[in-house]
Structures are given as structure tokens and as C-alpha cells.
Structure 1
Amino acid sequence: MIIDSVNHAGFHNGLRQPDQVLTIRLEHCPSTIDWKAFDAWLSEKLAIVLQARVEEAALDNQAIRLTWRILQIAAGLQRAARIPVFEPGRILSCRPDADKPGAWLGVVAVPRLDFIPAQSTYLAYNWAISLVLEMAAASELPPRPEALYLQLEERVLQPLRAALPAGKSSIHMLRTAQDRGVPWRHLGDCVFQLGWGKHALRIRRSKVETDSLIGAETAQHKFLAAQWMRQAGLPVPDHYLVLDEAGALQAAQNLGGPLVLKPVDRDRGEGVTVDVASLAAVSDAFRYAAQFSKQVLVERVIPGVCHRLLVVRGQVLYTVKRQPIAVEGDGRMTVAQCIEAANERQKDMPVWDRPPPYPLDDLARDALGRAGLTMSSVLGKGHWAPLRRIESTQWGGLDVDYSTTLHADNVAIAVRAAALFGLDIAGVDIISPDITRPWHENGAAINEVNLAPLLGASQSSLDTLHALMGRLMDGDGRIPLGVVVGAQNAAIRARALQQQWIAKGHACYVTSHQETVEPGGGIMPLAAQGLFARSMALLMNKDVGALILVAHTDELLDTGLPVDRFDLAERVAGELVAIGAGGGTASERTDKLASLLGCTSMLIGLHASA
């Protein structure tokens, strides 16, 4: 269990994320552990592939080996809850507990997110400790730990998701940023800043701050969005907006069938009924849609299949044909047996990684009937039995990539639609009988323009995340950063560096714990106290093209560093003013901060000749 913690505001222990230090107690360590079997079980059953410690092969210390696995399981549980923890952390020390024979104390540095309650972090690590000790001591590891999955889902993952309801897209965006070396930080309310200063970009899920607010609101209202597109010369289906059942019936008579009825302002396929072919069915479909919205769209069906085109800043990155969820035959089993077998196979996956279950219900029977099949049909391998009429996030589906065969005219209307609403990231849905042919040749139409499309849900999406990040960010999103440590001469050196960086074309700012100097030499008032707070304020400022910190005090030893690395770190003569809570003399704390920053020495001023 966790018995102590030390939080830093920034970077302190060499991680790529801001960190905190935890002290954990292992009440007992099993004397014999089959590490190969244990690690294989973690990989297969918890989807946690362990990172190797360089020195582990030479270690004969069960406590350290267990602690290293605890860190990785805790990080994995947080990722499963979509909390962006991309590195396990570091073991700082591990020693026997002098107060409790047989127990061990581990001091570890682990990633920390701003605005995440401490108890949420402790929940993940305490469960990881219990899980590792229990499984390591077990005589036999469970081959299908369904009870454990459900326990983790209910008691760990759901509370963690409640602490940070960031959504699925966020963790894919942030992992890609991490892989590309783009710095990021949680600003609260599931908003993350990518990059620093002039390169900063704030995101929430797959929304970006550069999206038009007016366009985003309009795109989410299906009727108004269609009016915009129709006026802009883009193809959309014919439809009516209705408020009651009588209006729906009249619209159906005006349009003729078949029809689609859907709520005007919902997504994920909620409340949608397709292929409505009778007035009785119209009434049923209206009542269903009205459960989700006060306004309902009655729309003439466009022949074809829905295709999702992801548009990012004027470029289509991928196109998938969105087919409904289906099961593949094997030449022996009935459709019902194939569904049961598919759901049984999913039980080998952690519950948090499972796609929606294959349905065995009336909607599935209806979809099968429309395809000329029943639950008793036997299909050969390569033949598929559809279990829904349409693909949706709620039900899942099958995505077939058409990125390389998409017709250029269809690319053009997707890009125009995203630009019409001012969306830098948009999921444009085109219904077409053949997306490889131009829309004006086969009657295709734009069904929806989706704000904040789900990212990472298909292999096509995963494969284009780096291209997406490349279109959003300028390089790695970093600006030149420097720090000068020392007494009053540090400010002199920092101002000299500022002029050098300005001469190179950077809008360079200099800040100490109490004063911030603009590129023009003026003093910039900031309602922020201390070097760390002032640095963070400037990293959020899009006027800042470069930044130099002046460390006159030892504050950063207690707060941690505001960034993971500096391009330049120098130390000049003189000792820091000791204001921190840590022990040691001023000279020792100056040496410690210089070491943390990796400073080179540059003696200037009174001690230059010493």
C-alpha cells in the first residue's frame, strides 16, 4: 500500500511527464516466482507488455522485481481508463522496512497529471500492489479471469474515468504527441495543451481550439448543417424537420420511401431508424427518435453505404467504408452459433479492450431477414451475416479502407464541407454506392459533418495519427528554452542571451521569480508568483517564441522543473537564495539545482578571474 507521497508541480526525476514520489510498502514478497509465466499472464490477460529494466537480469531481489511490475500495471490501468500515463516511472530506492520484518519499502517516481485527485492515483497503485502480490503468490494463474476483469472495471476503471472523462480520442492524440516528442499538459476539464508558446494548441478529445464555434454548433444540428451545405452547392439528402408524429407522417407522404428517421442533434447512431417503408413504421420510428430529441429529421434514403472521411486542415487522411457489425461463417456453425462463439472469444480480452458484443436480438434478426438469412443459416467462410442495418459507435461495425481508391471529386466535397463549418478536424460521412466514382455520377450525398470524430477506433485511423499530428503541430511544438542559475549576475547573462536569441528571430522573454522582461526590454506584469508559475504562464502565451529562466532561488528544487528539458543551461558565480523546504546549505542546494538542470559553468562578474 501507499504510505507516503511527495507531489511536484513539474519535472523532478527524469521522466517525460511531471512526476510525484510515492513510498509503497510490500507487506510480503513470495520467495519463489515463475517470472516468465507471470509476465506472459500479464501480457495476455491484462494487455500489459512489460518494459525491461536494463539491470533486471542481474538482480536477485524479488522486491525490486515486484515493484517494477507494480509501476507498469498501475500505468496500464490508468491508460485503460484513458488517463494518459505513458511511462511506468522509476524506482528510486527499495529497502527492507525496519519497522515491519519481512516487508519492503519502495520509493518510486511516477507520472502525475494536473487536476487529477491524489486519491485517484493512489487507487491505481494500491490495486496494482494488491494484484501483483496476489498473482505472484498464486499457485496457478487464472486462465480466464472474468471476475478480476469485472472487479477492476467497477472498482478501478470507472472511478478513474470519472476523475478524467477525457474520451477515447484524447489518449490516442496524446500518445502520438508523446511519441513525436511534443510536450503536453493537462489544463483541467479534459483540455490539454500541446506545445509551448507560439506553437501551443489546446485540444479536447479531437476538438481543437482553432475550430469555429459557430460552425461547430451548426454542424451538430443535422437540419441546419444540411441547409448550409445545400446553399454551398454540396450534395445532401432531401428531408423535412418535424416536431410531432403528424408532421412525420406528412413528410413521409411528401418524400416517398424508403426513409430514415433520426434525432436532429444526436450522434453515435442514437435514435436512428433506417429503411422505413410504411406509415406504421414511420410512427414507430418517430416515437423512437423523439426519445432523444424534440426535433426529428425525416429523410429520403440515399442508396449506398456510409463512408467516413477524416479531414484535417484541408486534407483527407483516410477513408473507410463503414459496414454494420457482422459475423463471418465457417461452413459448419449456424449464425447464432457464430455469434455465441465470437462473444466467447472476446472473453479472452480484458473487458476494457473489448468491442461491443455481437448482438443476438430482434434487431439482429431483422437485419438478417433483410439479407435473406436467419439465425439458423449456415454460411461458408468469407461470407458475412449482418447483425445491424447500419454501423454505429454504439454497436460497432466493420471498416474497409478506401483511402487509396477514393475519387478526387469526393475528396473535394469532403474538404469543402469541413471548410464550410470551419473545422480543422472533421469526420465527413458520404453515402455512396461506390466511393471510387464521383458523387455527381452516382447520386452520392453528404450525410453528416461530424465535430470531434472518434480517433483510433480503426486501424486506418491509428495508421494516420502521426500524419494528423504533423498537420496540427509545427514540428515538435517546442520553442527554444534556456536557464541561468546563480546570483544577481545570472540576470546579466540571461539578458545577453536574450539579445542573441532575438537576433536569430525569436521573440524571446526572460523571467525570474519576480520579474519578466519582454523582447523589447519592457517589464511584463504577471499575476503569478514564483519562477515556476511565471514560466508556466509564459509557456501558455502564444506571443512567446523563446524563453530564458533566471534561477536566483532554489524554488525549482521543490516545485520541479516547468519543462522536461532545456536547450541551454548555464551556471554563473554566486549562490542561490534558499527559500525551499529541503535541507542543506545554500551552496549544496545550488549544486543540486545545477545538477538537476545539467548546467555548464560560465563564471562572469566579480568572480570571473577566480
Structure 2
Amino acid sequence: MKIIRVRYLKGPNYFSYKPTMWIELDLEELEFSPSNTLSGFNEALLKTLPSLRSHTCSLGYEGGFVERLEEGTWMGHILEHIAIDLQYLAGIKVKRGKTITGGKKGIYFVTYDYREPKSGFYAFQAAKEIVEKILDGAPYVDSSTYIHEIENLYFTNKLGPSTEAIYNAAFAKGIPVERVGTDSLVRIGTGRRQKHVQATITSQTPYMAVENSCDKQVTKSILSSVGVPVPEGETASSYEEVFGVAERVGFPVVMKPLNGNQGRGVFTNIKSREELFSILHCMENKETEIIVERYYQGNDYRLLMVDGKLIAASMRVPPFVIGNGHESIRKLIEVENKNPLRGDGHEKPMTKIPLNSTITCHLEKSNLTLESIPEPGSVIQVAGNANLSTGGLAIDVTDEIHPTIREMASLAAQSIGLDVAGVDLICPDISVPLDRSKSAVIEVNAAPGIRMHHYPAKGKPRDVGNAIVDYLFKTREEAAIPIIAITGTNGKTTTTRMIKHFLERDGYHVGMTNSDGVYIGSRVIDEGDCSGPISARKILANPEVDAAVLETARGGILREGLAFRECDVGIVTNVSEDHLGLDGIEDFKQLVKLKRLIPEVVRQDGVCVLNADDPEVVQMAAHTRGRIVYTSLFHTNHHVQGAVERGWTVWYLDEDNWITCIKEGKKMKLLPAKDIPVTIEGKARHNIANLLQALAAASSQGVEIEVLKEKALTFKPDHEQSRGRFNTFELDGRLIIIDYAHNIAGLNAFFDTAKHFRKGTTTTVLSAPGDRQDHEIREMARMAVKNTDGLVIREDQDLRGRAPYETASMMHAAALKEIGGSGKQLSIITDELKAYYYAWNCSHPGDSLFFLYEKYSVVSGFLSQISSQKNMGAKKII
């Protein structure tokens, strides 16, 4: 078996709305060996992973997968189930998978859910290794090492628990949220409305507040100045000063580093000079500045504040072990650290108890070491502080807090200036009024961890992540800019450009992606085919953008899924056979399903604009939550008529060839189609279809009819507003029409429009993308020679998997057969620029040249060169 390609489909995709692993697998010789032909394989596999017996598979009931094994299934399908099972056993709750047979013998496309890329892919590699060991004769494979590595990769690379809680809360509310980079930084919201969170520091957290909270002495000064009780104490920079401060404050004391965090280096209840001396000399890290302050007898509480409001409160209990009379403290800690609720760092509800100097120094206070063996039943506190980072546990006490303590915590957080704060309080009883003589705020923390509140050892979980998201955004609308997504086979780019034009106004910046580039207003930030998710994210992440108009092509969806979970407007222009036989999309039915993804992700309060003249597109109405708006070139279209009867909005071309809208039962005639430049005097029917959908989308976003009229009249099919889409020039007496038609439907629309403008002898320069099927390539050649007097066949620079001259030769043979003895001129000039020159040199004033380009820069460069040679400017006709 051989892994050929791996794709991480991050967003909604052909297979699922969840992140999906996509693997192209070549079974090689195993293609001829289903599971029921492999002696002993099924038994060894189920012995290795008995949990596979619970898999339902496509049969829909427990044990279904075992039945498939016994009746015979192929290895791609088996690896899918193993990869899912291994992840699940590692604590990653995934369940969906699907394996598709490829068009070539032995090729399979294996897909399954994943939560984190590295662990998700390793699960497949592990599955492959397990299978290979069994095929080599192993009657059983120990899967524990693989499971442990998957777990390790997952917890090492996923978001930290605090950021993850915020991420999940935003996700649950339908607010766009995306991880940025590989650390715990997330962007919540899109475009101009976005905000960022890292751990629990938000983009609204003041820098000075963070700085002040990190300096414990400054924190105490600020709190004391507003009447918040704080412990008496001083900062010391030498051992001599430490002892001096301790004497002045009076034992027992607390010692901690001035700029420490997460409880590191904190020692409490130091009762004498001897204990203090012992601790100072056993510390691994010698701090340059140390705070020594009064010790308060009481419980350790963490009060979590968001925007000045108390959201959660926990009582923190220092880590402890219970003696059994025969095991050392070290061994007891090691046993406790095997608790499945404990993990390294912040990966799980509780942290493992560290075996470090903090523990040994604390034990020395009680004349104990890690090798001491406690009496049976004796409770040994192994750390002096209750931070979760040092192994402590938390008990929720939110409902017990007295109002006076709630008010004091709010004052503390606001005085420091933190929007999200963890107020640490020592207090005998949090349920009674604040006693300032017995209680003190010992710290106010920026970026407080919130896992203790989400996963308390005892008590009610508190959804702090949700509270933080609510603080940042009251509604989804506050967080998300409108997203308009356009898909289909043809017309996507023109429709996208028009929608952007219709939406733009002073002070309102529209971001756009299409097959030419990425645009913010009039500024180009990237060039090339930018109709995929990488380009879309550049728009959604840009803080200048007020609305996103995104051309969404099939290739990008298959490579990575969508860049967004939902859109406000989804448009499907049309669907015809194109790019079949690639990436598992083998037939037209699968292509339709792929395009249908855009209607499926339209928001419930959004709009789905569908071309009612395309029977496949019309059927997508059953797969959207959005409000349906039909468009049609025919006022007699029965889908349009039915929609009008139901009170829906429709846009269509009426019997007088006027652009017309019926909305809420009211009919509005916009303009005669022939008066709108993009329709090219009403002759470009495909552009009228594009125009109707663009108008429907813009209208759904609140653009008034009068504005739409003005905008429609100012959008022109030239190289500035609609570059490369039926751009028409007159140069040295010749008519030149430039277009990007690169499939059968697009070529048919081009020639249907061009026939109204052609003059003299016509010559077409054309190629076909190499990833089209053979019959499509031949049909494009036949169409071209039917609609032109001469054909120059070029070849794309990107051969898309074809051999040099393969596509051109195929087109030449098909064209030659079509023209028979008609005498039409037929040539092959593979280089794009040379092909244009050849067609030009064969033409005369009064002739027409149709240039169907691969790269716009090449054809535009040709025009500039010819214009310069003729010492004249290219004159635009339309």
C-alpha cells in the first residue's frame, strides 16, 4: 500500500461539515485481496482492536463492520475504520468516515473525521502499520503505543484548555472563529468586526493592565489605594533582606517571586526562621526579587471576573496524597499522576503533581522527603499552594459567594484595568460578609486559566468561555461581516465582480476573491487564480473589510474545504460537466453534490440565489436553510411562477426584455437589458443570467433599486471592471474579442454572443485545459471549427497531467474530422503568445479574431506589443 496524497479539509467539504482527513491511497497488490481472502487477518485485527466490533459501518447497526470484514471489504475501507477507532481510543471523539473507489484500479480516497491534523494523520499511519504487521503474520499487534502517541500529538498540538473553551463557545454560537498559527491565538469574528483572544487575554485587554498585574508589588499598591484588603509585606532582593522583612511582618509568612506566575516558587505558612532558611537553600531557581508578606489562615479562592462581573468562583485545594504505610511519597505521587484526569501542563482538567524543588522544599518544612513513607490514612499535603498548575484541584463555590466579596472582587479587577481577571483571595469563609482583618487579595491575574471552572473536581461546571464570548460580542451580527459565496461552472467571476461593484459605497470596503486575484476595494493584494479557501481567508481576516464576495471554485473545496462555516448569501450560477475524473469526483452527480455545498451552508436567515433555468440548480432548493430567490431568463419559467405564487422574491427577464424583480408581491421593472453594458446590447444571454443573480444578491443586502440601476449602468465589460470576460477591442481594422471560455458550456456561451459582432473572416485561438476528459477536449475543438473560419490550436503552459502536445493533437484530430473538406484553416502553435501573433499575421483589416486565453497577461501583452508596433492605441468598442 502507498499513500499518494494527503489533504486536510478544514472547513465544510464534500464529505462533511466537520474537519475531514482525505487520503489518496494506492492498494497496489492488495487491490486483489479483500479481507475475506486473507487467512487469519480478520481474527488478528479484531484481537488487536476489539472495539472495532462496535462499529456500525454503512449497515447502521453494531457489528456491521465485522460483517463487512467477513463478507469481504477492501483495505482502504478497513484503514478508515482503524484510524477512527485509534483516535477514539486516544480520547478524541470522532466517528464519521467514508472510503470512495477511485477511477483507476487500486486507487481509493479514504476520508474520516479528525480534530487536530498531526494526530489525525498519524492515526492513519498507525492503522497502516498495524495492518502491515498483521499481513506479515503477526497474530496480534499491541496498539497501546500507537494510541499513546496519538493522544500525545493531540494534546501537544491542540489549543490550550482556556482558549479551546472560548473557541468552542464561539463555534456553538455560530460566530466565525479560527485558530491563528500553532499557539493558543484565535480570531473571533471576521473582517472589520474581528477580535482576538490568546489564552484569556483579549484584544480589548489593556497592555498597562497586564503589566501592572504581572508586578505583584504594583498590584498591591493599586488595590490598597482603592480599599481592597491586601497582605502586609515588602520586596526583598537578598537573603538578608528576606529575613529582615519576615521579622518585620511577623511569622508565619508567605514567600513568592515578584514576577512569578502559575504558583511557581510560592511557599506558604512559613512559621519560623529555620523553615525560611531551609526553603531558601533548597530552591532550584534563585529569584532576584522576592515578596515576603503576611500569611493568612483560610481557604484559597479564585474569583473569575469578566467585564467587572463575577462569572465563576472556585476553592482551590493544594495537592495531597494519602499514605498507605508501605509506599513512599514519591510513589504515591506517581500513582496519583496516572489518574486519567491529570495530564501534562494544561491539557486535562488537572495537572500532574510535579516532582520538583517546590515539592521537596515544602516537604522539608514537615521534616519529610519524597522517600518518606507516610502512615496509613495520613493526608500529606505535598505543595504549599493550590494552583492547578502545581497539581491542585478546584471545587466550584460560585453560588456561595457573599455580595460583599463579589463587589470587592469587581473593584479589584477594575482597579487593575483587566477585562478578564482572576482575583485570588484568601478568606476563612466566602459565604459570609468580608472580614478585612482575616481576608486579603493576594493577586489579580491577567490571562487567568479557566479550566478549573469548566472541569471542577467537585461542583457545577461554569461556562466561562461563553461569558467571554458574550462580553466580546452580544450577537453574531456584531462579529461577522456578510459573506456572499458564488459557485457554479461558468459565470462565477463576472457575477462576483458585479456584486462587489453593486455593494461598494463610500466608507464601505468590499473584499473580493476570484479567478484573477484578491481585492480590497480597488487594491489588489494578490494575483492569479484566487478562488479557493486560502484567498478567502485573506479577505475574512482583513480588518478593513466590511463585506466579503467570494468566488468559490470546485478545486478549492476539494483541496481544503470552505474557508467559512456559513454564508449570508449563496449563489449557484449553473452546473455542467467539467473537471470530472479528478480527486474522486468521477461523475456529474458527484459534481452537482459538490456545488450544492454552498446552498447547504447558507444561514437560516440568509438568502440562496438559484438559477431556475438550470434543472440541477433548481433541485438544490431542497438542500438549503436560506430563503430562496430564483432568477431566470424566461418570465414563463414555472419555478419562477410558482415562487411568485408563494410570495418569494424572483428576478427575471420579462416579455419586453426588461430586468424585473417581484418582491413581496410588488413588481419592479429595473432597466431594459439592452441598455445595461454587461449584457453587450442584450446579446450576451449568459451575462444577463449573471446580472440577475448579482442584482438578487445585492438587493438581499439592502442595496436600493435606484442604486442598483445606477450601478448596473456603470459596470462595463472592459479590461478594467471585467478583465478577460468578453473584452472587445478594435486594432488596425480588426475586431478582437478576448475571453476565458475554457469548457464546453463557456465556449458555447462565448460563440453565441460573438456571432452578433463578428465580421469578415474569423480566426479563433483556443486550447483546452489538460484536466478535462478526452471527449470534452474533442468537443471544444469541434465547437470552435463550427463557429469560426480558422482555428489556431495552442497549448496551455500548465499541462495539468497531460504530455506535451497531447491535448493539442487530440483537438487537432477532432477539428480535422469535423471540417472534412470545407477548406477551413487549421494550425497548431503550442506557445500562447506565438499563437496570437500567428493568427494576427494571417488576418486582414475587417477580420475578427477570437482569443481564448490561459494567462491574461500574455494576451494583454500581445495587444500592447501590436499597438506599439502600429503606433496606435487599442480602441475599445464596448
Report the TM-score range of the alignment, normalised by the length of the smaller protein. Answer: 0.7 to 0.9
Aligned to 1:571: 572
Change (3 A) 1:555 1:397: closer
Secondary structure at 1:404 match in 2: helix
Aligned to 2:531: 531
How far apart, in 1, do the equivalents of 2:339 and 2:2 lie? 31
Change (3 A) 1:106 1:357: farther
Aligned to 2:693: none
| 1:423-438 matches, cutoff 5 A | 423-438=418-433
How far apart, in 2, do the equivalents of 1:88 and 1:506 lie? 44
How far apart, in 1, do the equivalents of 2:79 and 2:115 lie? 18
Change (3 A) 1:277 1:351: closer
Aligned partners of 2:230 and 2:440 also within 8 Å: yes
RCO higher in structure (CA 8 A, sep ≥6): 1
| 1:270-419 matches, cutoff 5 A | 270-287=264-281, 291=285, 293-327=287-321, 347=338, 349=340, 352=343, 355-356=351-352, 363=362, 375-376=374-375, 378=377, 386-419=381-414
Aligned to 1:490: 495
Note if 1:108 corresponds to 2:111.
yes
Aligned partners of 1:558 and 1:581 also within 8 Å: no
How far apart, in 2, do the equivalents of 1:208 and 1:271 lie? 27
Stretch moving more, 3-12 or 351-360: 351-360
Aligned partners of 1:365 and 1:374 also within 8 Å: no
RMSD over aligned CA atoms reads 4.9
- 1:429 is displaced (CA, Å) by 0.6
One of 607, 610, 626 as aligned partner of 1:600 = 610
- 1:208 is displaced (CA, Å) by 2.2
Aligned to 2:251: 257
How far apart, in 1, do the equivalents of 2:578 and 2:77 lie? 41
Amino acid at match of 1:5: R
Change (3 A) 1:535 1:194: same
How far apart, in 2, do the equivalents of 1:32 and 1:546 lie? 57
The answer for unaligned runs of 5 or more in structure 1 is 43-49
Aligned partners of 1:571 and 1:603 also within 8 Å: no
- 1:386 is displaced (CA, Å) by 3.9
Aligned partners of 2:572 and 2:598 also within 8 Å: no
Secondary structure at 1:391 match in 2: coil
| 1:33-48 matches, cutoff 5 A | 38=49
Aligned partners of 2:77 and 2:98 also within 8 Å: no
How far apart, in 2, do the equivalents of 1:351 and 1:234 lie? 35
Change (3 A) 1:53 1:228: farther
How far apart, in 1, do the equivalents of 2:576 and 2:109 lie? 33
Secondary structure at 1:567 match in 2: strand
Aligned to 2:181: 188
How far apart, in 1, do the equivalents of 2:60 and 2:554 lie? 39
Stretch moving more, 346-355 or 266-275: 346-355
Aligned to 1:47: none
How far apart, in 1, do the equivalents of 2:306 and 2:325 lie? 43
How far apart, in 2, do the equivalents of 1:350 and 1:95 lie? 43
Aligned to 1:455: 450
Change (3 A) 1:61 1:194: farther
Report how many residues are paired.
565
- 1:449 is displaced (CA, Å) by 1.5
Whichever of the two has the greater Rg, that structure is 2
Alignment deviations for residues 330-388 of structure 1 (CA, whole Å, 9 cap, x no partner): xxx6696999789658757498568525989784585699xxx9922547xxxx66444
Aligned to 2:550: 549
- 1:296 is displaced (CA, Å) by 0.8
Aligned to 1:174: 167
Amino acid at match of 1:184: V
How far apart, in 2, do the equivalents of 1:37 and 1:157 lie? 18
Change (3 A) 1:446 1:559: same
How far apart, in 1, do the equivalents of 2:318 and 2:550 lie? 56
- 1:299 is displaced (CA, Å) by 1.0
TM-score w.r.t. length of structure 1: 0.75
Aligned to 2:84: 72
How far apart, in 1, do the equivalents of 2:464 and 2:433 lie? 24
- 1:240 is displaced (CA, Å) by 1.0
How far apart, in 2, do the equivalents of 1:38 and 1:551 lie? 41
Change (3 A) 1:437 1:24: farther
Stretch moving more, 403-412 or 223-232: 223-232
Alignment deviations for residues 422-469 of structure 1 (CA, whole Å, 9 cap, x no partner): 333222111111112233455311111122222324335565444444
How far apart, in 2, do the equivalents of 1:411 and 1:427 lie? 13
How far apart, in 2, do the equivalents of 1:242 and 1:528 lie? 60
Aligned partners of 1:409 and 1:439 also within 8 Å: yes
- 1:180 is displaced (CA, Å) by 4.0
How far apart, in 2, do the equivalents of 1:337 and 1:582 lie? 59
Aligned to 2:68: 61
Aligned to 1:46: none
Aligned to 2:124: 125
The answer for unaligned runs of 5 or more in structure 2 is 36-40, 70-74, 600-608, 612-630, 634-678, 680-684, 690-748, 750-878
Change (3 A) 1:125 1:590: closer
One of 90, 95, 100 as aligned partner of 2:97 = 90
One of 42, 45, 48 as aligned partner of 1:31 = 42
How far apart, in 2, do the equivalents of 1:140 and 1:351 lie? 30
Aligned partners of 1:455 and 1:461 also within 8 Å: no
Aligned partners of 2:388 and 2:394 also within 8 Å: no
How far apart, in 1, do the equivalents of 2:266 and 2:254 lie? 7
Note if 1:237 corresponds to 2:240.
no
- 1:419 is displaced (CA, Å) by 2.6
How far apart, in 2, do the equivalents of 1:320 and 1:297 lie? 25
Aligned partners of 1:229 and 1:417 also within 8 Å: yes
Aligned to 1:45: none
Secondary structure at 1:423 match in 2: coil
How far apart, in 2, do the equivalents of 1:34 and 1:121 lie? 20
TM-score w.r.t. length of structure 2: 0.54
Alignment deviations for residues 553-590 of structure 1 (CA, whole Å, 9 cap, x no partner): 96655564321333322233698999x997999x9999
How far apart, in 2, do the equivalents of 1:132 and 1:456 lie? 38
Amino acid at match of 1:490: T
Alignment deviations for residues 202-248 of structure 1 (CA, whole Å, 9 cap, x no partner): 22233322222221122122222222222333221111111111111
How far apart, in 1, do the equivalents of 2:162 and 2:203 lie? 15
How far apart, in 2, do the equivalents of 1:563 and 1:349 lie? 35
Change (3 A) 1:590 1:323: closer
How far apart, in 1, do the equivalents of 2:112 and 2:147 lie? 24
Aligned to 1:481: 483
How far apart, in 1, do the equivalents of 2:365 and 2:132 lie? 49
Stretch moving more, 195-204 or 353-362: 353-362
Aligned partners of 2:130 and 2:141 also within 8 Å: no
Aligned partners of 1:305 and 1:321 also within 8 Å: yes
Amino acid at match of 2:406: V
